Structure 1
């Protein structure tokens, strides 16, 4: 039947109970009433998935994409029956073979052969079937004498080979693979791809979860992208991967631009010196006789939506996301639904004003940019609902929300403080040298001591449209713009220099500009541009050192005005997988 489904999910949602203590968890587990002695519910609801509709046709190969914590593992556990759905229906038509963990079901002290026999016996194969399967597994794994060794002595790649070969030797009707192929080398992935195609040709359906986008495109014909417990994109594997890559590149670009800006600005609050450190606290307060229902809070930079959360929807309280509902010290209701709109409420209960807070974090808020906070809400009752916005703990503004009996939106302008505007505010100690590296470690921004009469004020990495950018695709234009300040009037010979490094310290290229003779007044600024042209770099992360020299020689005296060592980072993505290396040098093949 052409429309036969191996897996069908309709309106599926999964809620986990989050208990404040083990005692509460125990009381719930043994079936005592879910309400506490004073009518207080002992747990908070965490919805890992909501509104999942998924059809997996028989014989299809479907990939699942998503960041860590998106809900992929929960989805697989629902399909395999390890956990029940809170809402909706899960229909599975066929026998499932799930590879969720390379070591699952394998005894560490048993040999490879013993584990193979135990696994196949457990699955109900006859002696003859087991012997045929063992021969196939031995051939596929190519582990040779290692199969006579204890399983605990295997590397992760060897474990993955054995687990995959054992699971697929019996030709399952539905095969689920969760990151298993990531433990293998390219040779193993190639063999696995051939095995999967054979299974599909035989009528099997495959569901593959992987962070390797190349694997998704190579092994799957369709894909879904899960973000924050929802399916946000589905279609052909190539189109879904392209959309997912575009999103990840946007996040990387914002992160690297913020890191470059933070590294060079000594006036930033110490709490801003890191990644996703700027935070807007959006607090809703309901006064006597009023209720405010909130369905959305989103921070915009210009017309571009940034951090945002659909209040009441899946994972709205997950603090690992850029925007989330804060349950600490607030009075939010549990998630509710009305007319297809999910929301939470803040209600005055006759005990004074009550409030609830949504946190929107950004990699960095730039004082020169225009921001606005959009709130989706409705109000009920005669009282007022106020909105207070705090930026990194400092009150930015206090507003009264207009009455809205039906769902609507309201925008509030947000202007980040500049250093000058901050004035006498207690903005914490200032560190002019610390910033965070790619993995969160403190990375020192080295300013080498120099002559000092010229000082570098800022460095920007720009694209062809003169917009700041930090993630580039091959052949995109790159311009490095250095702004510098004269600390005293005078005549200055200036030699601009930029050195490009790979993050591991390998020098990629050095760019020395011509000597410029400048007559400058005290406080006057100038800029030097390095037009890098179309990028001819391989995929990876790179960092620039920039300097202004008074004299520069390989054999004679050298004198530097100012030098910032390896402080301005960017990434290159999008080269074909087979075109590896640092430099994509222009060259032409000919065959005679």
Structure 2
């Protein structure tokens, strides 16, 4: 440590901390013994918990430290308290530190609460007489009278927090550091602690406060820093920093929910979304949800206006290279693509059960055009595969909210190589399988030409799954949740405008259909059910394609994560408890998250009901 400027409690310059992640246990031991000559080359990876952090903290400042788990917050505090040494940089401390970094730090589990109080005060340099004078104040603040003579090992996490905070603040420290320990306390005690910390800072104590409870940080602190991946991203006024941090959290939540809806890992979604081209996400699934057979696939081709513009040979070198126009997502443990194989002399990958938790096989098509001018109706996808099973394989396209069926592989187990071509505009049509072609002696024969608009019976069969079912005369195509600028989103804030746009495709005249949007908590509780005829939105007749908007303006649903069902019913009588017959029902297929407005820390509840207030004066 170096002598500090008297105006600052803590000065940090170019601070970095690196941990070595050893590949073998023997290398860790050799490194500890400084026997580096006997270590393997590249025997460890470097993990930088902090990198080039610089902060000056004035005396008396109440500083909140924000960041996600693993951001480097606790590492920074441990360096400040001297528990660990930095790899690079320097830190200057001006004042005595009192730190609560872990619950019960310094407490002996076999000692009673009373014994631990006196032991902790002695460790702080407080003599017996003064300790006795401070004891009553500590006991009064902790409110542990009924437990003070019981062993600390019998205390709950909240009781630990009460005792630890009461002891640490029984004397006025020059620098008080608190890392998450108050999260174990109840709301009443947390508010009590915040009031005590405010009084301490009035006397000149510098406070560093780490908590994931942004409400508590805002109550306590006037300034904040935001650390992410070991780097200092932002410092300044608590409101400005917390706004930026919460916006980042919402963005991550958006990505997480999108990954769940796309049935991919979050990092996979993030990686291919960075591409500037228009990217279309496809996947193969089976009718039963998980492949029971092996399905050899050797080609995926992209056509525009009937002309092939690109082709991917599966199993060939770099078929998962995301710089290509067509590529596979082959995340192990998530996606059901086999390793590259040779089959009948052709390069393939097989869609089969290789332990992918999402039970599907995914590929991406990049279309390098202006996305605003993109006419997807000019594009077609053709799949080359070998028919060696009777198991039905369905091809679906992700439409921004969920996967929509666009075709299938016509498997009859005849052992022939085949091709199936699907129009990409079926994202709007529901299902449209244009052709299946047999390869026989260089001769092609058109076998089938199915169109849902003409052959509604196909839809009746294919759409009866666990989460999509109905008679199919009118079907739900694209479902989007959008903000006031009609930008699709998965996270919203209570009080803002939300639009739920339901696209439909009707194969015949539909008289008086009823549209329903139902929001559920994850425990199955129905939060709200919006019914078109209940709201006097009467639709006399529908045919062809169109969309219905359900407009939440303002959105009055409170904070939480929700799953949503969308349905079109033939009729819905509010007096009838039985589930009505559905044309099409998407049962709990969509996920959303709703947050409270920034700066509102009081819990507003699940429903923010509009009311009128009135006052009557009585003489």
After TM superposition, the score normalised by the length of structure 1 is 0.69
Distance 1:210 1:220, change over 3 A: same
Partner of residue 588, structure 1: 612
Contact 1:541/1:572, CA 8 A, preserved across alignment? yes
Contact 1:35/1:42, CA 8 A, preserved across alignment? no
Q: Does 1:423 align with 2:355?
A: no
Q: Does 1:472 align with 2:496?
A: no
Distance 1:77 1:2, change over 3 A: closer
Q: Does 1:516 align with 2:491?
A: no
Q: What is the Cα deviation at residue 104 of structure 1?
A: 1.6
Partner of residue 457, structure 2: none
CA distance in structure 1 between the aligned counterparts of 2:37 and 2:596, rounded to whole angstroms: 52
Distance 1:519 1:182, change over 3 A: closer
Output one character per residue of 1:356-399: Cα deviation in whole Å (capped at 9) or x when no partner.
xxxxxxxxxxxxxxxxxxxxxxxxxxxxxxx973654479xxxx
Q: 2:586 aligns with which of 546, 564, 571?
A: 564
Partner of residue 232, structure 1: 233
Residue correspondences, number: 449
CA distance in structure 1 between the aligned counterparts of 2:170 and 2:177, rounded to whole angstroms: 14
Point out where structure 1 has 5 or more consecutive residues left out of the alignment.
263-271, 282-297, 304-386, 396-412, 435-444
Partner of residue 481, structure 1: 501
CA distance in structure 1 between the aligned counterparts of 2:563 and 2:138, rounded to whole angstroms: 47
Contact 2:9/2:93, CA 8 A, preserved across alignment? yes
Output one character per residue of 1:271-300: Cα deviation in whole Å (capped at 9) or x when no partner.
x4454443748xxxxxxxxxxxxxxxx935
Q: How does 1:420-569 map to 2 (within 5 A)?
A: 421=381, 423-424=383-384, 446-447=466-467, 449-486=469-506, 488-514=507-533, 515-518=538-541, 520=543, 524-554=544-574, 558-569=580-591
Contact 2:491/2:594, CA 8 A, preserved across alignment? yes
Q: What is the Cα deviation at residue 455 of structure 1?
A: 2.3
Q: How does 1:236-385 map to 2 (within 5 A)?
A: 236-260=237-261, 262=262, 272-278=263-269, 280=271, 299=274
Distance 1:189 1:422, change over 3 A: farther
Contact 1:19/1:43, CA 8 A, preserved across alignment? yes
Q: What is the Cα deviation at residue 500 of structure 1?
A: 2.3
CA distance in structure 2 between the aligned counterparts of 1:461 and 1:148, rounded to whole angstroms: 57
CA distance in structure 2 between the aligned counterparts of 1:109 and 1:59, rounded to whole angstroms: 37
Q: What is the Cα deviation at residue 57 of structure 1?
A: 1.2
Output one character per residue of 1:432-466: Cα deviation in whole Å (capped at 9) or x when no partner.
8x9xxxxxxxxxx9525322232222211112211
CA distance in structure 2 between the aligned counterparts of 1:114 and 1:144, rounded to whole angstroms: 14
Partner of residue 43, structure 1: 44
Q: What is the Cα deviation at residue 214 of structure 1?
A: 0.8
CA distance in structure 1 between the aligned counterparts of 2:83 and 2:22, rounded to whole angstroms: 21
Contact 1:15/1:48, CA 8 A, preserved across alignment? yes
Output one character per residue of 1:137-170: Cα deviation in whole Å (capped at 9) or x when no partner.
1011011120011111111111000001111112
Contact 2:277/2:368, CA 8 A, preserved across alignment? no
Q: How does 1:142-157 map to 2 (within 5 A)?
A: 142-157=143-158
Distance 1:199 1:530, change over 3 A: same
**Aligned residues: CA RMSD:** 3.3
Output one character per residue of 1:201-228: Cα deviation in whole Å (capped at 9) or x when no partner.
2222111111011111111111100011
Q: What is the Cα deviation at residue 113 of structure 1?
A: 0.4
Output one character per residue of 1:172-229: Cα deviation in whole Å (capped at 9) or x when no partner.
2111110011111121112111211222122221111110111111111111000111
CA distance in structure 1 between the aligned counterparts of 2:15 and 2:471, rounded to whole angstroms: 66
Name which structure has the greater RCO, CA cutoff 8 Å, separation 6+: 1
Contact 1:61/1:200, CA 8 A, preserved across alignment? yes
* Residue range with higher mean Cα deviation, 244-253 or 216-225: 244-253
Tell which structure's C-alpha radius of gyration is larger.
Answer: 2
Point out where structure 2 has 5 or more consecutive residues left out of the alignment.
279-320, 332-364, 370-375, 387-391, 399-464
Distance 1:273 1:422, change over 3 A: farther
Distance 1:45 1:172, change over 3 A: same
Contact 1:471/1:570, CA 8 A, preserved across alignment? yes
Distance 1:214 1:421, change over 3 A: same
After TM superposition, the score normalised by the length of structure 2 is 0.67
Give 3-state SS (helix, strand or coil) of 1:145's partner. Answer: coil
Output one character per residue of 1:551-572: Cα deviation in whole Å (capped at 9) or x when no partner.
2224578321111122222222
Give 3-state SS (helix, strand or coil) of 1:148's partner. Answer: coil
CA distance in structure 2 between the aligned counterparts of 1:537 and 1:280, rounded to whole angstroms: 32
CA distance in structure 1 between the aligned counterparts of 2:215 and 2:6, rounded to whole angstroms: 28
Partner of residue 7, structure 1: 10
